[in-house]
Amino acid sequence: MVDDPNKPPWDDVEPPPTEEELAESERLRQALEEPRSAHPDAELARALRHAVDPRPLDELSHRRILDRFAPKRRRFEIGVVLAAAAAVLVAFVALQPRREVSTQTRREAPTAALIKPHTTQALFAEPFPREGETSKRVDAIALSRGRDLRNNRWAKWGVK
């Protein structure tokens, strides 16, 4: 490549390396050849190489890493957890309210006659008008049905 003598100095993108740069590049090359070198640029270059193209771990290294960082399950810990769960289950069952109803109590419970479904004609003395007062009619029917439902529930529960 021939340098153009008319080219301005700021237009030179890549000036020739200085003696200091050449010496530093030689030190870096030597540091990269030594695996235990502490050269900061060599450490960066190794980190980049391992990030881009990592080499596979041998089985022993892999096992050491797993033994160091993987959680270990111990039988004792599992036994403690199971015993605690069993204790919670026993406490839950023991504290449940018991409902002891004998057959005699069931026979003695009062049984009232339930209100059967019936017509709503008794609620209205006069026939419905053709238009208007729909809300009033629906409200009267809903109140009557609600009253019947409550009375039937109370009768089933034995409430007088």
For position 117, what pLDDT does the model report?
81
Q: Is residue 119 part of a domain?
A: yes
pLDDT in tens, 93-141: 888 887 766 655 555 555 668 888 888 877 777 877 778 888 888 888 8
Q: Is residue 117 part of a domain?
A: yes
| Confidence band for 3, pLDDT divided at 50, 70 and 90 | low
Q: Is residue 86 part of a domain?
A: no
Q: Is residue 89 part of a domain?
A: no
Q: Which pair of tokens denotes residue 127? A: 């026939």
| Whole-structure pTM value | 0.30
Q: Is residue 81 part of a domain?
A: no
Q: What domain range is 57 assigned to?
A: 19-69
- Shortest CA distance to 39 belongs to which of 28, 48, 29, 47? 28
pLDDT in tens, 7-58: 776 776 777 889 999 999 999 888 888 888 888 888 888 888 889 988 888 9
Residue 17 near residue 25, CB atoms below 8 Å: yes
For position 20, what pLDDT does the model report?
94
- Helices (H), ranges, the chain: 19-33, 40-52, 59-69, 75-94, 103-108, 134-157
Residues 81-103: what's their mean pLDDT? 84
Say which residues have a Cβ less than 8 Å from residue 128's Cβ, sequence separation at least 6: 137
Overall number of domains in the chain: 2
Q: Is residue 1 part of a domain?
A: no
Say which residues have a Cβ less than 8 Å from residue 54's Cβ, sequence separation at least 6: none
Q: Is residue 5 part of a domain?
A: no
- Token pair 């069993």 is found at 86
| Confidence band for 91, pLDDT divided at 50, 70 and 90 | very high
- Token pair 């980049």 is found at 48
Q: How far apart are CA 41 and CA 47, in angstroms?
A: 10
